[in-house]
Structure 1
Amino acid sequence: MSLEIYSKDPPISYNSEIKSRDRYFFALISIIGLGAVLFATWPFFVWQMSTLPRLSGGFDDAPIPQARVLSAKSPNLENIQVVQDADGFSYFIPTNLSENDPNDENRSKEFSVSIPKLNINNAIAKVDSLDFRKNLSHFPGTALPGEVGNSFITGHSVLPQFSDPENYNAIFTKLSDLEIGDKVNVARDGKQYQYIVQYSKVVNPKDLSVLAPISENAKNLTLMTCVPPGTNIKRLVVITSLI
């Protein structure tokens, strides 16, 4: 008669089960957190490494070189202030609008902007406006499209994965995709104007040179947004000229 011996593994304690479950839980949370960080920051590094070097003007705080862009008259820079809100966002504020009174009945109240390459169709730009949450903003005192001078337009940008050409809070996210020769179409007061991209540059948020006169008698339109998309660290300006 043989004697068989059966053995059982020692029971796992309740505390051991909890510790094991907690380890898996914290590992999962860590992976999700890391994924969220990469989701938010990866586009920033990609933009810095791939898009920024491609821009025709590069990245520095110097004024836009006169020889490389057609521009024209802009508001007197003595009447422009750079202010910063509670979130650290810097923006321009005009202190004197005497040259172009926004209450002038003959002055256009809005116009539309279309950029085929960015799938932007008939986006509304409010004239002499500093609010671009529900529209594009035409900076007060700058020329209107078709006029001699620098028509300055600002729009929002967000993280590239949330880009939406129909959403004014994200409309200029892919502005850096514009290259020399691309077209910008503007409709104002029943007239059509077509501009061609000449130059793009990343500048300091407090750089007023983007508004400064560069050459006389030219009809120029400038588009500006925050970069890298989803941040307000710098500003991208795309300069176009009427053709």
Structure 2
Amino acid sequence: MSQKPTRIISTLFLFAGVLLLASAVFPIALSHLRFLLYPNPRLLDPTATSGRPATFVVNALGLASIDYTLATSWFENAPSSPSPPPSKVTHFSLSIPRLQMQDVTVEVNGTDLKQNAIHYPGTVLPGSYGNTVVFGHSSLPQLYRPGYPLTIFNPLPKAQVGDEVIVKYDGITYRYVIKKTQEVRPNQIEVLTQHYDRYQLTLITCVPLGTYWRRFVATAELVN
């Protein structure tokens, strides 16, 4: 009789372990299957009729087994990029109210995603013509902690067209609205193009959460 409670407890622990594993694996598998069944079309250059050439700031998003907590590792063999205008400001903040992302710290020209989200070097600063690119790390949903650098962009894949993005930079508040969201493969680098005929903000993290297979991209434009 004494062995029966032990078997019950062992079975419960086994069942709990299976559930925990399934909760981590199933969302990843489902996301990958959905992407395979409904792939995004190849991205087109929207400046084709603008009369101004687009400028690429990188060559590739990188597929090697490298340290993705370093922003410089996201883009292998990246060419030299023009530096943004000098600024005494080293950090700015970013909020997406609907996702309850409040005052996320972004380091200007940062590289270490273990510390905070980073403004990618060579892209323009908020409020300037061009594409302000911000990277944020993400991890498994079960590990999410608001404000924790390694999960700071976990909510981003839930972003929707029309969501408001508030950026506070150098004492000025900029309001952006998300115009497009998409998942792209690591070699689809058009999302990083600098379009100097608009004020654009691009937010990027890796998906499915907890992997580096693809990039989730939210593209926003300045409204005031």
Are 1:131 and 2:112 an aligned pair?
Answer: yes
Number of residue-to-residue matches in the alignment: 214
Distance (Å, rounded) in 2 between the aligned partners of 1:205 and 1:61? 14
Q: Structure 1 residues 105 and 151 mapped into 2: Cα distance closer, same or farther (>3 Å)?
A: closer
Query: Among 142, 158, 164, which residue is 1:177 paired with?
Result: 158
2:43 maps to 1:63 = yes
- Say if 1:148 and 1:219, in contact at 8 Å, map to a contact too: yes
Q: Secondary structure at the match of 2:28?
A: helix
Q: Which TM-score applies when normalising by structure 2?
A: 0.78
**82-91 or 107-116, larger mean C-alpha shift:** 82-91
Query: Which letter does structure 2 place at the counterpart of 1:38?
Result: A
* Pairing partner for 2:167 from 186, 195, 207: 186
Higher relative contact order (CA 8 A, sep 6+): 1
Aligned equivalent of 1:231:
211
- 1:115 corresponds in structure 2 to 96
Q: Any stretches of 5+ residues in structure 2 without a counterpart?
A: none
Q: State the 1:22 CA deviation.
A: 9.2
Q: In terms of Rg, which structure is larger? A: 1
Identify the residue that residue 211 of structure 1 maps to in structure 2: 192
Percent pairwise identity: 28
Matching of residue 44 in structure 1 with residue 28 in structure 2 = yes
Which of 65, 85, 89 lines up with 1:86 in the alignment?
65
Task: Give deviations 1:169-222, integer Å, cap 9, x for gaps.
Answer: 112112122111110000111111000000001001232111124x54100000
Secondary structure at the counterpart of residue 204 of structure 2: strand
Q: 1:193 to 1:142 in 2, by over 3 A?
A: same
Shift of 1:228: 1.2
What is the CA–CA distance in structure 1 between the aligned matches of 2:218 and 2:161, rounded to whole Å?
9
1:130 Cα deviation after fit: 2.3
Task: Find the partner of 1:160 among 141, 144, 151.
Answer: 141
- Contact kept in structure 1, 2:131 and 2:196, CA below 8 Å: no
* Mapped partners of 2:136, 2:146: distance in 1: 11
Task: Give the gaps of 5 or more residues in structure 1.
Answer: 1-16, 53-57
Cα distance in structure 2, aligned partners of 1:135 and 1:224? 13
Hey, what does 1:145 align to over in structure 2?
Answer: 126
What amino acid does structure 1 have at the position aligned with 2:20?
A
- 8 A Cα contact 1:156 1:172, kept in partner: yes
Q: State the shift of 1:108 in Å.
A: 3.4
Secondary structure of residue in 2 paired with 1:63: coil
Query: What does residue 195 of structure 1 align with?
Result: 176
Q: SS where residue 111 of structure 2 aligns?
A: coil
**Contact preservation (8 Å) 1:139, 1:153:** yes
Q: Cα offset for 1:47?
A: 4.8
The residue number in structure 2 matching 1:34 is 18
Output the amino acid matched with 1:127: V
Q: Does the 8 A contact of 1:43 with 1:160 survive in 2?
A: no
For 1:83 and 1:96, the matched residues in 2 are separated by 16
Give me the TM-score of the superposition, normalised by structure 1.
0.73
